[in-house]
Chain A
Amino acid sequence: MTTSLESTFPLEVATARSRFPIHVAVFLTPALLIYSVFSIYPLVDTIRLSLYASDQTGAQHFVGLVNFQTLLTDPAWSVHFWNALRNNLIFFAIHMVVQNGIGLGLAMLLSLPRLTGGNIYRTLIFLPTMLSVVIIGFVWQLILNPLWGIAPNLLKAVGLGSLFGPWLGQESTALITISLISVWQFVGIPMMLIYAALINIPDDLLDAATVDGAGPFSIFWFVRLPLILPTLGVVSILTFVANFNAFDLIYAVKGALAGPNFSTDILGTFFYRTFFGYQLQVGSPTMGATVATAMLIIILMGVLIYLFGVQRRLQRQMF
């Protein structure tokens, strides 16, 4: 083995920064190889493909930014793109407000000192997050199914029977309903992350605030909330990336057409249809790549805003 040579110089690794020892290469190569070939290369190649178009023979030729122009301005495409983007923003907004709001609320309750059974609550409330989005989609489809009648009967039991409607089937309510199903499933993630941040706040700080005469509300608003802002930032960016990359739930519940009348269409389902085609429209790899690149740009913009806007400012505020 070649290793005996290096091991005779035990300090080499710590001192020689400029050299690239063979064992470092051995340790790094498998990860870098698989990651580069199956993650980075496809992403770069997708961006490249978005600048090409294929003709009838299937040959691809460079067209520059024409695909993006088509996507944003040609009515055949742009209507669907803007619709998907708008729905995606609504999907995201509902997650930010409802999912992260409930998550914050639950985390506050769970982080109360000497709470009995906190661990059990946490474990059970987190459970739906572990299940497949597809399974959750079908579960809720059954529950909201007027045929089975569980949802209307439960609503009747609490006197709200008149509110029930075929929520998943109506154009006006389908997107909100689907968003809330997703919120229901993933509430555990913000809950856990915020809970962890809350219990990491030193007790001295809270005690000091109490001694200074702060009530529970001002302790929350002026002590705990500022201290967990970085975590809220992490939760927001995780929500953003997950939402703008979502697909499974809508595909499982509403199919690739994201009905009724595209009212639940988000970028993920739009990407899938563009790439694979549906009904009469033939799928197009280059237009698919264009949609994917647009999604990539949107996600990168979100990440950059977070990294350089939100996180920087939070850190300055902290120290």
Chain B
Amino acid sequence: MNRPIRPSRILVHLALILYTVIALGPILLILLNAFKTRRAIFADPLGFPDARTFTTIGFDQVFAKSDFGLYFLNSLTVTVVSLGLIVLIGAMAAWALTEYRFRGNTIIGLYLAIGIMVPIRLGSVSILRMMVELNLVNTLTALILVYVAQGLPLAVLILGEFIQQIPRELRDAARCDGVSEYRIFGSIILPLIQPAIATVAVFTMVPIWNDLWFPLILSPGDGKQTITLGVQQFIGQYVTDWNAVLASLTLAIAPILVLYLLFSRYLVRGLTAGAVK
């Protein structure tokens, strides 16, 4: 069955395709040219690399001249540890605030909400001072602590909304069986909120992985750079080496690209459902 194709629909698709090209073009351009010789980069920037123009010299240089693997590992450590703490600590707080009615409940909720609207960045002067006193400058710990504090408010909000939807009977039945509050949380609630955890993960991971500000002021050296800062410093140094610049950008883009294409449905679901309320 062929439905008649309305001309207005073709225009809609043309507009959407045009914008998709605008959105993806610049990124594809970088990925394409990272695998080409310097000559080909300039002579034919829009062409695909072929047998004659293919090279990985840029990548060789990046790995020879910088500690990319280490920066990548630093970013991975900071992101994964922060995320784990945000989810666990955030779920505990969200559970306490939604499940138990106690004095100060609302005030604590509002107190946490401040962090959603006010960027923690503005406290950087004091954060740096504190990290100097705690002897945490140029450590990943400093970054993790700040990112956990930054990510908690939104995590508590999203997880709290989700916990509210869990049927009461489940926990009351467990309580009648004499199960402790800690085990109810650990064995019943945590497994049940996994979908919300995925949403929190996407919302929390991306800003942490991509952040430049805190790595720049808290751990700018000593091999503790994250990948974002590492790329920034590398490109600043080798700005005229086009192969190396394109390769370093590609290395920074590729992992996010893969992860995004794998997990985009969680993000889309999170954006279109929970977060909008």
Contact = CB atoms under 8 A, between A and B. Distances in A.
A184 B22 CA distance: 8
B12 A115 contact: yes
Label chain B's interface by main secondary structure. Answer: helix
A13 interface: yes
B120 interface: yes
Nearest to A216: B8
B231 A135 contact: yes
B45 A303 contact: no
Label chain A's interface by main secondary structure. Answer: helix
Contacts of A67: none
B206 A130 contact: yes
Contacts of B252: 132, 135
B96 A28 contact: yes
Interface residues on B, range: 35 or more
Contacts of B99: 13
Contacts of A19: 102
A307 to B, nearest CB: 9
B200 interface: no
Interface residues on A, range: 35 or more
Given A31-B152, A42-B126, A275-B125, A21 B100 contact: yes
A35 B16 contact: no
Contact of B146 (A1, A38, A128, A231): A38
Nearest to B24: A124
Interface in B1-58: 12-13, 15-16, 19-20, 22-24, 26-27, 29-30, 41-42, 45-46
Interface in A119-175: 119, 121-128, 130-135, 138-140, 142-143, 148-150, 153
A196 B276 contact: yes
Nearest to A7: B180
A234 interface: yes
Interface stretch (A81-89, A219-227, A244-252): A244-252
Contacts of A271: 122, 124
Interface string A249-273: 0011000000000000000100100
B10 to A, nearest CB: 12
A292 interface: yes
Interface stretch (A93-101, A203-211, A293-301): A293-301
B272 A192 contact: yes
Nearest to B97: A28
B100 A13 contact: yes
Contact of A31 (B46, B93, B127, B267): B93
Interface string B246-277: 10010011001100110010011001110110
A125 B19 CA distance: 7
Nearest to B101: A17
A46 B123 contact: yes
Contacts of B261: 123
6 contacts: A27-B96, A41-B130, A132-B252, A138-B231, A139-B29, A292-B125
